[in-house]
Amino acid sequence: MSTQEIKKTVLAYSGGLDTSVIICWLKETYGCEVIAYCADLGQGEELGHLTEKAEKTGASKVYISDLRETFAADYIFPMLRANAVYEGVYLLGTAIARPLIAKRQMEIAKEEGADAVSHGATGKGNDQVRFELAYLAIDPQIKIIAPWRDWDFQSRSDLIAYTAEHNIPVEATAEKPYSIDRNLLHVSYEGGILEDPWTAPQEAMFATTVSPEAAPDEALTIEIEYKTGNAIAIDGRAYSPASLIEKLNQLGGMHGIGRVDLVENRYVGMKSRGIYETPGGTILHVAHRAIESLTLDREVLHLRDSLIPQYASMLYNGYWFSPEREMLQTMMDEAQKGVTGIARLKLYKGNVTVMGRKAPHSLYRPEISTFEKDTVYVQKEAEGFIRLNALRLKLKSMHGGV
Ligand code: ARG
């Protein structure tokens, strides 16, 4: 255990068992003042009672920051403009939240003259890395306390015993069968019975989507409008970034869209099984690609696509505040200048199907692509194109293919 001297700590607090214990443990271990801070990222919980709860637990002051619109506009939307997907399916709903939580936490630390920050992430996961890389990118001098890596508690029952000894108010909730992380973009589930990758999740686990089987037999068709890479309206009605995601979560959830079950590679080296619900984000990925298919130049699209895995790894591994992510973001955003238009989509039993797309600056030219007689494209020119491209193949063949 560290013996460093700490005067005042800002803790990323959720009101749950772990961070409640942390308030008390920090005070006991370091004799420091603890400020509790909770970011509202659209986790859909009633946060009103948190202030009182944190104070009762021993926090000297409590901050509850509504960051929903910032989260949507400055974090989720830039990530969506880049079409970020980790390992083929994970839409990074937890990874994108951490840098914002950390950034606001560091602002509070600065306002309060705190010398340390603390979080409740364990020593086995990605979240500790994401929080701490962000803290250090913002202030290299900040002291970081990660109690899960320091204290002697081994289990949930150790924590509960500690709350009893220290009169920490915790709701007597039954042990959650999974670790859940929820925000505006997604819900994630890990641990418990999900640790067996052969065991399918129980239907009752899902919080925001119905199963495709339980979805309505009637499809829903919607239109999403994009301007320079950002979704701005649904069915002709303008929405703010956060309310647009909320609306699509509701529509997508109703139609069983956006469930994913994977075994992923954590940055710390282990594999872990995760289940995600990202209804609105899934719809936005499909809609965005539909507009891009009309508006992006071929080489720009292919080059951009080749960089998605790297961009996604940067986010997953916690490098949101890094020169490499910022460099790629500039490039991604440059590609989005002409990504304006409308996608028409059908939502039906877990699927999002593109039914139509249009764009004022579409590069698709039916008069050129047509199978019918055209007056623009000279078919004869294709012969020289093919012959020159075949030159090196012919030379290789002349050498017997070696
Ligand atoms: N595995 C996902 C990620 O690393 C989700 C982590 C969820 N965090 C949690 N505390 N349950 O992004």
- pLDDT tens for 146-176 read 999 999 998 888 999 999 999 998 876 667 7
- Cβ of residue 19 lying under 6 Å from some atom of ligand 1: no
Q: Is beta strand 230-234 parallel, antiparallel or unpaired with respect to 116-118?
A: unpaired
Contacts of 191-194 with C-beta under 8 Å, sequence gap 24+, read: 194/273, 194/274, 194/275
Q: Which atom of ligand 1 is nearest to the CA of 180?
A: 11
H or E element, residue 324: helix 323-335
Cβ–ligand 1 contact at 274 (below 6 Å):
yes
Paired tokens of 227: 């301007």
Residue from 19, 127, 179, 267 to probe ligand 1 pocket by mutation (most atoms less than 8 Å from CB):
127
Which residues belong to the active site? 18, 98, 127, 179
Q: In Å, how far from its chain's centre is CA 41?
A: 11
Q: Which DSSP state fits 193?
A: G
> How far away, in angstroms, is 200 Cα from ligand 1 center?
18
Structure letter (DSSP) for residue 176? P
pLDDT at 372: 76
The CA 188 to ligand 1 mean position distance, Å, reads 6
How far lies 325's CA from each of 138, 229, 331, 370, in Å? Answer: 15, 18, 10, 40
Closest atom, ligand 1, to C-alpha of 179: 11
- The closest residue, in CA terms, to atom 9 on ligand 1 is 181
* Whether the CB of 126 sits within 6 Å of ligand 1: yes
The whole-angstrom separation of Cα 223 and Cα 245 is: 14
DSSP class of 46: -
**Closest ligand 1 atom to the C-alpha of 94?**
12
pLDDT of residue 45: 80
> For 369-399, what is each residue's pLDDT tens digit?
777 777 778 899 999 999 999 999 999 999 8
pLDDT, position 171: 77
Contacts 24+ apart (CB under 8 A), 156-160: 156/17, 159/17, 159/18, 159/21, 160/17
Neighbour count for residue 118 (Cβ, 10 Å): 28
Does residue 94 line the site of ligand 1, with CB under 6 A? Answer: yes
Work out whether strand 237-238 and strand 230-234 pair parallel, antiparallel, or are unpaired: antiparallel
> Is the model's pTM score more than 0.85?
yes
Evaluate whether 159 touches 57 at the Cβ level (below 8 Å). no
Q: Check residue 172 and give its pLDDT.
A: 65
pLDDT tens-digit readout, 317-348 = 999 999 999 999 999 999 999 999 999 999 99
Torsion of CA 313, 318, 324, 329, to 10 degrees: 80
CB of 179 shorter than 6 A to ligand 1 = yes
pLDDT tens by residue, 263-322 = 999 999 999 999 999 999 999 999 999 999 999 999 999 999 999 999 999 999 999 999
